[in-house]
Structure formats: C-alpha cells, structure tokens
Amino acid sequence: MDAILLQILNGLDKGSAYALIALGLTLIFGTLGVVNFAHGALFMIGAFCAVTLQKVLTLSTISIDPEKKDFLGQPLKVETPYVHNWFGEATGSSIIEWSVPLAILFAIPVMMAVGYAMERGLIRHFYNRPHADQILVTFGLAIVLQEIVKYFFGANPIQTPAPDTVSGSIDIGLMFGFAENAIIYPIWRLVYFAFAFAIIGAVFAFLRFTTFGMVIRAGMSDRETVGLLGINIDKRFTFMFGIAAAVAGLAGVMYGPINPPNYHMGMDFLVLSFVVVVVGGMGSLPGAVLAGFLLGILESIASTAWATTMIPGINQIIIYLVAIIVLLTRPRGLMGRKGVMEE
C-alpha cells in the first residue's frame, strides 16, 4: 500500500513537469496554431536562468593563499564570492543557497522577454505556413538555443541545489497515520508539486476570471469573429506566448534541484510532452494537465518490480503504449476538440 502511495507521489511529481510543459505547448498551439518544437528548449533555458543566477551570485574575488597548494604545487588561489564581502559570510552564503527560489523572480521577466522575442522575431512569420515548416524552424531554433547554452555552460550537468531548509526529506506518512518510515519524501519534490499546482491554477484562473483571459478563450475558439469585433487579438496572443514561455521556464527553474540541469534536458522532455499534449487532446488545456499527471503516475507504477516482472520492459514503453491505446479508443485524445490538427 505505502509502496503504491509512494509511486503515486513520484508520478504526481513527474506529472507536474509534464503538465507544466504540456500546458505551455497547448497554450501556444491553441492560441497561435503553431507547433512549437522549441518548447523543450524554453524549459531548459528556465533551468539555466537558475544556473546563471547562481554563477552571478558566486562571482568571486581571487586571493592567494600561500599556505595551501594547488594541483601543480603552486600557491592556491582562493575564491571569495563578492556577496560574502558585501554582506558578510553568513548572509552571503544564505543568499547563494537561495539562488534557485530567487531565480524565479529573475526568470519571469527573462522568459517573458525570450517568448516575446521568439514570437515577434520568428514565429510570427510562420502563422500561415504549413505545420511542417513550423516544425522545421522551431526545431532549428531549439538546436541553436541548446548549442548557445552548451557553448557557455558546457555539456556536463550543473548542480543547482535547493536551500538547506527545504532539501532532505520528511516523513509525511506520520502525518497521515502510517507507520514510521513508511512514506518518506523529499521536501523539494513536494514543493515542486505544490508550485506546479499553483501555476496551473493561476493560468486557469487568469483565463477564466479576467476579461483578458475571456478574450483569449474566445480567440482560441474563433479567432476570426473576435477579430471582427475590433479586438487586436494578435497582440494578446503574443502576450500569451510570453506566458507560455514563462510557465515552461519556471518549470525548468524549479526542476533544477530535482535533477541537475544540462543543455539537452529540453530534448529529453520534448517528445514526451508532445505525447502528453496529444493524449490530452489537441487544444484542450485541462486535457494537457490531466494527461501529464496520468502519464506521470502510470510511468511510475510501471517501473515497480511487479510490473516489470509481469511484462518485461513495460517501464520502457508504458507512455507510448498508453498513448496508442488512448488514441485508438478516443480519437481526439482525452479531451480534444474536433477538427484541430486533424487535416
């Protein structure tokens, strides 16, 4: 029982990342009708916002310590971060330690700007082009973004640890009356889940309860009519592209402490997130979120020992198998709309 509960937690956690990326993809797709293969790269850039902030905060002065030797036997160069000099060692260290949460503040404007620049500078010219062209250009863009990050940060993963107070794990089983040590879970993963939940809630609330959101929803279902009403829908859609980029970016920032970011992490998620979007149903935001969590949980459960002994290799193929079953039984995914991307 507790084993299954743990796997469900794992699944919710993986699902959070899938859902956040898929949500952004669907937003872009639903508003602008663009298949964005660079969305994984946006997730990656978000994670590297945290890396960059961490690097900036640890910018250091170099002093020579003649007592210690480096690997060549020469006096050791000791690096002291500027923030240590400015705020004292204790405060300085804790600022560096909190670089991931701080990066959220940094990432929102950066990602909005990246999204805006992408839409205005490139994607805009592809609205009336075939989906194949959109795939080619955004895939090219994804490669370019990746390579730029690789050029500056290398190919090796870079640790972006969570602050001490929220790293490590807690025994949440105790709170719900389970035996001690039955359900122990890392705090940051719980934070990630809660964060994803909040972001998803915020996006839905924004679309549901604001006038701006209402116009967007109207535009998604009938762009032409909204345009005829004299509303500049393009401008709003550009803004939504920024929002979608920010959602992917934040998913990336917060993902850093779970798995250290590297330059190709976006590609690892890209194909999976497309599967999620399609299983959820093209153009459906709730569908994308639902499918994200569903596939996350199924993936976790399929990797348990009893699943793999029952069907060897099931953990390798579960997501694709589920995708096939869903698409064959429900032609437009879980909650897809008729006529979207079917031609």
Partner 1 sequence: MSSFTPNRRSLLKGGVALGAGVAAPTIFTGQSWAASHAYTNAPQGGSVTLGFNVPQTGPYADEGADELLAQQLAVEHLNGMGDGGCLNTFSSKALKGNGILGKKVEFVTGDTQTKSDAARASAKSMIEKDGAIMINGGSSSGVAVAVQGLCQEAGVIFMAGLTHANDTTGKDRKANGFRHFFNAYMSAAALAPVLEAELGADRRAYHLTADYNWGWTQEESIVASTQAMGWETVNTVKTPLASTDFSSYITPVLNSGADVLVLNHYGGNMVNSLSNAIQFDLLNKQVNGKDFKIVVPLYSELMAAGAGENIKGVLGSMNYNWQLDNEGSKQFVKSFGEKYGKPPSNSAQTCYAQVLLYADACERAGTFNPCGVVAALEGFEFDGLGNGKTLYRADDHQCFKDVLVVRGAQNPTTAYDTLEIVNVTPAEQVTYAPNNPLFGGDEASLGTCNPGA
Partner 2 sequence: MLRLTKKDISLLVVVIVLTMLAPFLLNPFPSDSGLAQFNAGYPDLMQKFVIFGIFAIGFNILFGLTGYLSFGHAAFLGVGSYAAVWMYKLVSYNVLPAVVLAVIVAGLFSVLIGYVSLRRSGIYFSILTLAFAQMSFALAYSVLSNPSFNLTNGETGLQVYANDPQIFHGDHLPNFPHLFGLSMGSTYKMAAGAWEFQFNVAYYFCAIFMILAFYLSMRLVRSPFGLILRAVKTNQTRLNYTGLNTRPYTLAAFVISGMYAGLAGGLLAATDPLAGAERMQWTASGEVVLMTILGGVGTLIGPILGAGFIKYLENIFSKINDNVLHQWFSFMPDGIEDLMVMIIHPFVGKGWHLTLGLMFMLVVTFLPGGLVEGGQRIKTWWANRKSSDKAGKPASTPAE
Q: By CB under 8 A, name the binding residues for partner 2.
A: 35, 122, 125, 129-133, 135-137, 139-144, 146-148, 151, 271, 274-275, 278-279, 282, 312-313, 316-317, 319-321, 323-324, 327-328, 331-333, 341-343
* Single residue of 14, 39, 84, 332 touching partner 1 by CB under 8 A: 14
* Single residue of 60, 80, 93, 315 touching partner 1 by CB under 8 A: 315
CB neighbour class for 26 (10 Å; exposed up to 12, middle 13-18, buried from 19): buried
Q: Counting contacts by CB under 8 A, is residue 181 touching partner 1? A: yes
* Single residue of 95, 116, 167, 178 touching partner 1 by CB under 8 A: 167
Residue position matching structure tokens 């929220």: 166
Residue with Cβ nearer partner 2 (228 or 305): 305
Residue with Cβ nearer partner 1 (47 or 112): 47
Report the nearest approach of partner 2 to the CB of residue 80 (Å): 31
For residue 65, the SS3 value is strand
Residue with Cβ nearer partner 1 (217 or 303): 303
Q: How does 278-306 read in b/e, with b if 16+ C-beta sit within 10 Å?
A: bbbbbbbbebbbbbbbbbbbbbbbbbbee
Residue with Cβ nearer partner 2 (142 or 244): 142
Residue with Cβ nearer partner 1 (157 or 286): 157
The residue type of 261 is P
Q: Counting contacts by CB under 8 A, is residue 159 touching partner 1? A: yes
Q: How far apart (Å, rounded) are the C-alpha atoms in residues 244 and 273? A: 14
Give, for 250, the enclosing helix (H) or strand (E).
Answer: helix 233-255
Q: How does 141-155 read in b/e, with b if 16+ C-beta sit within 10 Å?
A: bbeebbeebeeebee
Residue 240 interface partner, choices partner 1, partner 2, none, CB cut-off 5-8 Å depending on type: none
Backbone dihedral angles phi then psi of residue 296, each to the nearest 5 degrees? -60, -45
Report the nearest approach of partner 2 to the CB of residue 49 (Å): 21
Do 338 and 221 touch, CB atoms closer than 8 A?
no
Q: How far apart (Å, rounded) are the C-alpha atoms in residues 60 and 80? A: 5
**150 CB contacts (<8 Å, ≥6 apart)?**
263
Report the nearest approach of partner 2 to the CB of residue 274 (Å): 7
Within 64-83, the residues that bind partner 1 by CB under 8 A are 68, 70-72, 76
Q: How far apart (Å, rounded) are the C-alpha atoms in residues 64 and 13? A: 45
Residue with Cβ nearer partner 1 (47 or 240): 47
Residue ranges binding partner 1 (CB under 8 A): 2-3, 6-7, 10-11, 13-14, 68, 70-72, 76, 150, 154-159, 161, 167-169, 181-182, 184-186, 188-189, 258-260, 262, 264-265, 268-269, 299-301, 303-305, 308, 315-316
